[in-house]
Amino acid sequence: MLRVKLSCLATVLLVLAGCSSTKEDKTATWSPNRIYAEAKEEMSSNAWDKAVPLLEKLEGRAAGTPLAQQAQLEKAYAQYRGGEPAQAIATIDRFIKLHPASPGIDYALYLKGLVNFNDNLGALSWLTRQDLSERDQKAAKESFEAFKELAARFPDSRYTPDARSRMTYIVNSLAQYEVHVARYYYRRGAYVAAISRAQSAVTEYQAVPAHEEALFLLMQSYDALGMTQLRDDSRRVLEKNYPGSQYLPQGTRSEDKGPWWKLW
């Protein structure tokens, strides 16, 4: 009997200890508006890690209201700024699925494009002088699709002009990426692979700056393979479209002077 009593007492003490160690929820008595105000204050101080849990609480407290939708969008932005792009994309996708008719859909699409756009650039790209064309293009393509949907569905949205500008940069970047890879293959003597990637840049992307070097790489690769007719055809196209091309008189590629795309 004594053992039973001691065992019960120990169990009670453990439960009490657990209750005493539970962190008190300071927002328990707060109104949704106060939670939102506190979250905004944390965001204004760049305390993104503190803002996210507040916005999650707000989403639950204000469920079914426009404020809950706003909390979701604000949370996605806080996750993005806090260095959690995957979580931000997940939050945005959930918002779009749950609220397809929301007036905030245009912003959600813009933010999705922006998250992928900046995630692809990378936080340290400015240190390495690495532009988007030298990175894997999956995020760039996803960014483009989000901006494209925004422009198609909401042409008059205040976010659309910037989205269109970024789409132009992304298209240029995707073409430049093909040239970047083609150049890599050419320098290593893989001329067939170089031709394949240079042709992709020319045929898949229209009126982009990368066409000039792509044509030059085609000309050089065909020459290396002894395919003189195709070499001459490439040269004629290069001369017609870029009569003052830097590649024509010197026959070699100029040194890189830094990213050409610095728009932001």
Residues 134, 53 share a domain = yes
Closest CA to 43 of 70, 21, 75, 65: 75
| pLDDT band with cut points at 50, 70 and 90 for residue 231 | very high
Domain shared by 49 and 117, yes or no: yes
pLDDT in tens, 131-171: 555 566 788 899 999 999 999 999 999 999 999 999 999 99
- Check residue 90 and give its pLDDT: 97
146 and 173, same domain (yes or no): no
Mean pLDDT of 102-114: 97
Per-position DSSP letters for 210-263, written without gaps between them: THHHHHHHHHHHHHHTT-HHHHHHHHHHHHHH-TT-THHHH-SPPPP-S-S---
| 74 plus 139 within the same structural domain | yes
pLDDT digits (tens, 9 = 90+) for 198-227: 999 999 998 899 999 999 999 999 999 999
Instruction: Find the domain containing 217 and state its range.
Output: 168-248
Which CATH number do you get for residue 76?
A: 1.25.40.10
12: in domain: no
198 and 136, same structural domain?
Answer: no
Whether 128 is in a domain gets the answer yes
Q: How far are the Cα atoms of 6, 12, 53, 182 from residue 9, in angstroms, in the given order?
A: 5, 5, 36, 75
Q: What is the pLDDT of residues 112-131, one digit of tens each?
A: 999 999 865 543 343 344 55
Work out how many domains the chain is built from and give that number. 2
CA atoms within 13 A on the CB side of 109: 27
Instruction: Scan for tokens 């990213």, then name that residue.
Output: 259
Verify that 142 and 174 share a domain, yes or no.
no
The pLDDT value recorded for residue 137 is 79
**137 Rama class: left (phi>0) / alpha (psi -120 to 50) / beta:** alpha
92 within some domain: yes
Q: Are residue 38 and residue 64 in the same domain, yes or no?
A: yes
